[in-house]
Structure 1
Amino acid sequence: MAVQCVRSKVEAPSLTSDLSRLAEWLRVLGEPSRLQIFQLLMQGTYCNCELGKVLSMAPNLISHHLRVLREAGLITAERDPRDARWVYYSINRQALEALHHACGELFDPRRLGERRPACGPRNGDQNG
């Protein structure tokens, strides 16, 4: 006997934040080296060479991770007006605030619901 699921109207919960942007930020920060860089930048502004020394990473690897973080909008890069060879990196405050808000909203334990399945034994369906 095949089990048939009752087709109920199931709606995905909506968050006020942009979930695709949050997913991208979490993917970017899911790489341990980028998360370390992000954590250091929370202390303030760094240049590429300082990050390389602190993290014991090659300059090209630091540059790669900084580019990924910058393209995701999580950090900003500012060239020194006196010597354009120097680039300083810092946290994008607006992105940080959006990330904080979205994570707080998504992972808020108060959002846990008591929804029960519309079919199967858990709903009292004796045919499942």
Structure 2
Amino acid sequence: METELNDGLGRRVALHAALADPARLRIVDLLLVGDASPSELAGLLSMPSNLMAHHLKVLEGVGLVVRSRSEGDRRRTYLQIVPGVLDALRPGAARPAARVLFVCTANSARSHLAAALWRRASEVPAASAGTHPAASIAPGAIAAAERHHLPLPRVKPRQVAEVRSDADLIITVCDRAHEELDLKTDVHWSIPDPIRAGTPEAFDLALEELDRRVENLAPLLAPAAAN
């Protein structure tokens, strides 16, 4: 038991040491609400790439962040917080939002599931759209929603320009959409495309990951006051 306590204490010390630098704490705050590539983080923080690489090496070294390869251009990587590592740390007070708009490529699976999960978790309205809308919602997404008792409106996928309003908080849930969307996005979630695998397990995993992201972000947003 004493060994286990000492191991736990050492882990806490390592995490606190990694977060003791203001720049690394700012990186973690950004990654808590969405994934980003190293170059995107460097741009957001006005930080030289070599210094960003140093800070990311420290955060990765203590197991705070991990990388995943983009499903879009296959060259860049996206960083994300390891689930559960920072359960006690969240950014500050709730931010007002008029509506959350979830965007993926086809608007046939991830964005619809994310919007449905959001409606269950938050009073902030939600909508979804795609950069290249499909003809209909993917049957796998419909089946996954039914398995998890998640109400999923059977609406036709729509193009971003048809849905977006200036007040929307835009969340991309697809690497390709994030990379090609000609709009400033507020948050990015790098969620693998379940349609590629086409299995119930792939859709369930996507739904589970979206649910985790929604549960993390929902407390940080509050309905915007009506004009």
TM-score grouping bracket, smaller chain normalisation:
0.5 to 0.7
SS at match of 1:62: helix
Aligned to 1:96, the other structure's residue is in SS state coil
Give 1:32's aligned amino acid: P
Which amino acid is 2:44 matched to?
Answer: V
Pairing 1:77–2:67 present: yes
Partner residue of 2:34?
Answer: 44
Structure with the largest fraction of strand = 2
Q: Distance in 1 between matches of 2:16 and 2:46?
A: 24
Q: TM-score, normalised by structure 2?
A: 0.35
Give the partner amino acid of 2:38.
N
Question: In the TM superposition, what is the alpha-carbon distance from 1:84 to its structure 2 partner?
Answer: 4.3
Aligned to 1:91: 81
Q: Secondary structure at the match of 1:42?
A: helix
Equivalents in 1 of 2:34, 2:6: separation in Å?
A: 29
Q: Which letter maps to 1:31?
A: D
Distance 1:41 1:80 in 2: 16
Q: CA deviation at 1:94?
A: 2.8
- Aligned-residue identity in percent: 36
**What is the TM-score of this pair, normalised by structure 1?**
0.60
The alpha-carbon deviation at position 83 of structure 1 amounts to 4.2
1:79 Cα offset (Å)? 1.6
Helix, strand or coil: the match of 1:18? Answer: helix
The one of the two structures with greater contact order (alpha-carbon pairs below 8 A, sep at least 6) is: 1
**Separation (CA, whole Å) in 2 of partners of 1:60 and 1:83:** 23
- 5 Å-filtered alignment, 1:1-128, equals 18-81=8-71, 83-97=73-87, 100=88
Deviation of 1:24 (Å): 0.5
Instruction: Measure the CA separation in 1 of the matches of 2:34 and 2:72.
Output: 20
User: How many aligned positions are there?
Assistant: 87
Q: What stretches of structure 1 of length at least 5 have no aligned partner?
A: 1-13, 102-128
| Cα separation, 1, equivalents of 2:74 and 2:15 | 28
Residue 67 of structure 2 aligns to a residue whose secondary structure is strand
Letter in 2 for 1:87: T
Q: Looking at CA atoms only, which structure, 1 or 2, has the larger radius of gyration?
A: 1
Q: CA deviation at 1:95?
A: 1.8
Q: Please report how far the alpha carbon of residue 81 of structure 1 lies from its aligned counterpart in structure 2 after TM superposition.
A: 4.5
SS at structure 1 position matched to 2:66:
strand
**What amino acid is aligned across from residue 67 of structure 2 in structure 1?**
A
Q: What is the RMSD computed on CA atoms of the aligned residues? A: 2.5
Q: CA deviation at 1:60?
A: 1.3
